[in-house]
Structure 1
C-alpha cells in the first residue's frame, strides 16, 4: 500500500521561519532585475538555502516557495555561476529530500512507496491550472515562452517547447558568452528529466514487486504522457531527432582545447568558461534525453505487462509504444539509423530495437505446429542470426535491407550484447535469455557465419570498419576458449 509522508507542526513552523529569512535576501521589488547587486543577492540566497537544508546533519527541508525561487533562478539566470549553482542545489536537495522513495516497514522486510504530500514539483498537472496558465502565457506573448508561466511550472506543452528549443543548441559550434539561454535550456532539461527519473524509478520498482498497476499509473511520467493537449507522437519524434542531433554535432564541439583556443582569440566576444562548459553540458543533455527515452520504453513494457494481466482499464488509454515510433523513423529515414545506434547505448533496449528492425524484413515461417519449439528462438538474436546461415535467406534479407545496414545492425547487436552488465547475464536473467536465445559463444559463431554469408551473396561486398571490429571481437572471444 502506498504511504504518504507529512511534516510535523513544529518542523513546519521552523521551515516557515527559514523560508522568511532566506527569501528576504532576494530583491523582491524586481525579481528579474539584472545587476551585480541583484546577482550577488541570488548567490547569497542559494548559499543560505544550502546551509539551512544540506550542510546540517539534520537539515530542514526547504519549503515550496524556497524551491520555486531556486528554480526561478535556474530558469532566468544570466550568468554561468547562477545557472550552475541553482542547478546543483536543486539536484542536491532532491537527493537529500526525495519526493518519492522506497522505505522498509519496521515490522517486516516489505517495502512501501512513500510520497511526500507537500513536495514541490516543477511540473503542473492539473488541467484547470494548465488552462488558466495557458491563457496568461498567451496574453503575455513572448514572456510565456518555454512553458514559463506565472507559477514558474512546466506542463507537457512547455516541456515539448523546451525540447524543440534544443535544436538551436544542437547547431551551435561556438558559445557566445553573452548568450546564456542555450546553456540554461541544457541545464533546465537535465533537471526536469532528473525529477521525472526520481519519481519514475521507485514507482516502477514497486509495480514490479507488487503488480499493482495503480502505483505506476500515478507516476509523473505517465501523467505527463497521458496529456491530450499535445501530440504524443510529435513529442517522441522531436525527442528522437534532438537526441541524434545533439550527438551528431558533438564531434565538432567536443574538443575543449579548440573551444578554449577559439574563446581566447575572441575574448572580447566570448566567455572562456562558458565555451569550455558548453560541450560537456551538451553531452550530459544527450545522456538525459536517453534516460527519458529509456524510461518511456520501460513504462511501455510495464503497461503492456499490466494489459496482459488484465490490470488496466479503458481509463488508462492507448498509446503507441515508443519503440514502434523509433522503428518507423529509422525505417523511413535510414540516415538516422547510424547516428542513433552510435549514440543510444542502453544495451537491453538497443538490442530490442535492432531485433524488431530485423523482424520487419525477415519472413516468418508459414506453418507452425505444436511440436515446433523454435517460436521464442525465432524472435531472439540467435534466431535472427540463424536466418543468415545460408545464401538464399541472406540474399532475400539483403534485397529488403542494404548490405551496409545489415552490417551495421549485426555489429551493434554484438556490441549491445557485450555491453550488458554482469547482472544481466543470459544465464541469470530470463528476460535477457529469451531476448538473446543462446550463449555468447554461439552468438559469436553465428555472427561470423552471418558475415561470411554476406560475402557469398556478393564477392565484391566491402566489410565496413564497424563490421570488421565486430568480427574481430567475435574471433577474440571464440579464440579465448579454444
Structure 2
C-alpha cells in the first residue's frame, strides 16, 4: 500500500505533462517528477514501481531539452544500479552463484509477443514506451544518420537524445547479461543466457542480424570521426568560434562531443557482450544444450573480420575506437591468421618454442625475414600491416599491464620480462623487414609510435638487467 501511494502521488505530478506537451510549465513538472522519484527511491530507498520507471523512461524518449534527457538518463541508471532486475545473490565460498530475476521488474525492452501487440494497439504511446526489436533497429538507423551527417550544423536535440537512449539500453542489456553469463560459466545451464535480453534481441526474426552488426561497426567509426572533428574545432578557438556562432548551438556541440565518445564506448560494450555471448553459445552447442529453437547466428567475430577485410578504410578508425585489449588483439590475430598460418609454420625456428599465427609472437615470427614479409604483403598491403602490427602491439602491452594490475602474472616477473623484451625486439624487426622489402615505404605515425615505445621498453628492460 505504501508503494502504491508513493506511485500515485508521484505520477500525479505529470498529469499536466503529456508526451506531446513541451511547454516550460510541462517541462518544469517533468523535472520536479524526476527529482521526486530520486528523493523517494534513491535517497529514502523505496523500490520504484514499474509505472514510475516507465514514466522516467518516457521522459528520456520524448524530452526536448538537454536537462530533461540527461537527468532522466542519469536517474534510470541510478535506479537500475540500486534496484537491479537481474543480480547474483550472496553465496558461500563452496557454492555456485545464484541468479535472481525479479519477474515483475520493468524492462526498457518489449520482446513478449502479447505485450508487443498491446503496445502497438496503444498507438502514440508506443513512441515513448519500451522498445521491441524493430524499435531498436529504428534507433540504430537514426544513429547511423547522425554518424553519416557528421557536421555541427546538423545538430538536433533528437540526436543527443538518441545517443543517450542507446547508451541506457546498452547499460540495461549489460546489467541483464553479465550476471547471467557468470552463472552460465559456473553451471553450464544455457537457459540463463537463452532468456537474456541480449539473446532475445539478436534472435528476433524481424531484424536483419548481419545488417544490424554492420550498422554498429559503421556507426562506431562514424561517431568517432564526428567526435574527432568536433574535438579539433574546439581545440582551435578561432575555427570553433565561427562554426559555433554560425550554428548558434555551442552547448549542443559540446554535448555531442561527450555523447559521441560515450556512444562509441557503448557500441564497443555491445560488441564485446555479443562476442562473449557467441563464446558461451559455442560451448552450449558443443554440449548439445541448444535446440533448433535457438536458431543459427553468424558469430560476430566473423562479421567484423569480413567487414575489415573488404573495407580497409574502416580498419584504422575501428582499431582506434575499439580499445578493449583482449578482444582487439584477438580480432587482429584472427585477421592475420587468414593469411599467415602456413607461413608461421615455415618460418618457425626448429629449436624454438612452438608458435602459430593465433598468437602475437607467432604473427611477429611471420615477419622475421624478407621472404615471408614479401609473401604476406602480397595479400595484405604494407600500410595495412603497419596499422595491424602497431595496434596489436598496443593491445598486447595494455593486456599485459591489465594482468599485472590483476595480479595474474605477479609470480612470473622473470619470464614476463623476457617475453616483453622478445616482443619488442620482434616488433622492431618486423618494421625493419617491411622497410627492407619496400624501400620507399613511409612509416606511419602509429608505426613510429610503436617503434618508439618498443625502443624505450628495451632500453629500460636491458638497463635494469645490467
TM-score (norm 2): 0.88
Instruction: Return the offset for 1:40.
Output: 1.2
Tell me if structure 2 keeps the 8 A contact 1:260–1:272: no
* Whole-Å separation in 1 of the counterparts to 2:284 and 2:400: 27
Equivalent of 2:88, from 88, 102, 117?
A: 102
**1:24 equivalent among 12, 34, 37:** 12
Which residue in 2 is equivalent to 1:477?
Answer: 457
8 Å Cα contact 1:260-1:275 kept in structure 2: no
Q: Residues 261 and 374 (structure 1 numbering): CA distance in 2 closer, same or farther, change over 3 Å?
A: same
Distance 2:390 2:142 in 1: 33
Task: Give the 3 Å change call, closer, same or farther, for CA 367–97 of structure 1 in structure 2.
Answer: closer
Match of 2:440 in 1: 460
1:398 and 1:161 map into 2 onto residues whose CA distance is 41
Q: Aligned to 2:217, which of 216, 222, 240?
A: 240
Partner residue of 1:49? Answer: 37
Query: Shift of residue 310 of structure 1?
Result: 3.4
Equivalent residues of 1:157, 1:230 under 8 A apart: yes
Instruction: Give 1:331's aligned residue.
Output: 309
> Which is further off, 345-354 or 22-31?
22-31
TM-superposed CA distance for 1:88, in Å, is 0.8
Deviations 1:385-425 (A, max 9, x none): 11111211111100011110011100000001111264535
Secondary structure at the counterpart of residue 339 of structure 2? coil
1:133 is displaced (CA, Å) by 4.4
1:65 to 29, 51, 54: 51
Residue 391 (structure 1) aligned with residue 358 (structure 2) = no
Looking at structure 1, the residues matched to 342 and 298 of structure 2 have their Cα atoms a distance apart, in angstroms, of 23
State the 1:175 CA deviation.
5.9
Q: Deviations over 1:300-351 (max 9, x none)?
A: 1121223233333333222111111011111111111111111110111111
Q: Give the 5 Å matches for 1:398-477.
A: 398-420=377-399, 422-424=401-403, 428=408, 439-477=419-457
Output the CA distance in 1 between the equivalents of 2:174 and 2:375. Answer: 43
Q: Does 1:361 align with 2:347?
A: no
| CA RMSD, Structure 1 to Structure 2 (Å) | 2.8
Contact 2:166/2:263 (<8 A) preserved: yes
Q: Which residue of 2 aligns with 1:78?
A: 64
Q: Is 1:123 aligned to residue 109 of structure 2?
A: yes
* 1:351 to 2:329 alignment: yes
- Structure 1 residues 103-112 or 412-421, which shifts more? 103-112
Matching of residue 308 in structure 1 with residue 289 in structure 2: no
Output the CA distance in 2 between the equivalents of 1:168 and 1:196.
Answer: 23
**Aligned to 1:102, what secondary structure does the other structure show?**
strand
1:390–1:169 distance in 2 versus 1, CA, 3 Å: same
> What is the CA distance between 1:183 and its match in structure 2?
1.1
Q: CA separation of 1:334/1:365 partners in 2, compared to 1, >3 Å: closer, same or farther?
A: closer
Q: Distance in 1 between matches of 2:304 and 2:442?
A: 28
Provide the secondary structure at the position in 2 that maps to 1:54.
Answer: helix
Shift of 1:263: 7.5
Instruction: Report the Cα offset of residue 264 of structure 1.
Output: 6.7
- Note if contact 1:125-1:155 (Cα within 8 Å) is conserved in structure 2: yes
**Which position in structure 1 is the counterpart of 2:413?**
none
1:113 and 2:99 matched = yes
Cα contact 1:260–1:276 (8 A) shared by 2: no
After superposition, the Cα gap between the structure-2 partners of 1:219 and 1:457, relative to the gap in structure 1 and judged at 3 Å, is same
Counterpart-to-counterpart distance in 1, 2:343 and 2:353: 10
- Extract unaligned runs of 5+ from structure 2: 410-415
Q: What is the DSSP-based 3-state SS (H/G/I as helix, E as strand, rest coil) of the residue aligned with 2:72? A: helix
The aligned counterpart of 1:289 is 267
| Separation (CA, whole Å) in 2 of partners of 1:284 and 1:351 | 22
Note the alpha carbon deviations across 1:185-221, whole angstroms, 9 max, x for none.
1111111111001111111112122222222222110
Residue 162 of structure 1: CA displacement?
Answer: 0.5
Residues of 1 paired with 2:400 and 2:85: CA distance? Answer: 29
Rounded to whole Å, the distance in 1 between the matches of 2:368 and 2:383 is 18
Q: 1:224 aligns with which of 179, 201, 205?
A: 201
Counterparts of 1:398 and 1:214, CA distance in 2:
46
* Distance (Å, rounded) in 2 between the aligned partners of 1:372 and 1:300: 37
Counterpart-to-counterpart distance in 1, 2:344 and 2:260: 48
Match of 2:165 in 1: 188
Q: Match of 1:420, SS?
A: helix
Partner of 1:214: 191
Contact 1:204 1:216 in 2 (8 A): yes
CA distance in 1 between partners of 2:9 and 2:255 (Å): 33
TM-score of the pair, normalised by structure 1: 0.86
**Could you tell me how far 1:354 is from its partner in structure 2?**
0.5
1:276 corresponds to which residue? 254
* SS of residue in 2 equivalent to 1:463: coil
Q: How many residues align?
A: 447
Taking the aligned partners of 1:91 and 1:427, their CA distance within structure 2 comes to 31
How far 1:442 moved relative to its partner? 1.9
SS at match of 2:109: coil
Pairwise CA distance, 1:476? 1.4
Asked if 2 retains the 8 angstrom alpha-carbon contact of 1:176 and 1:275, the reply is: no
CA deviations 1:218-270 (Å, max 9, x no partner) are 2110111111111100000000000100001212212446597358735xx73
Task: Pick from 14, 22, 27 the counterpart of residue 39 of structure 1.
Answer: 27
The answer to whether the 8 A contact 2:343-2:366 is kept is no
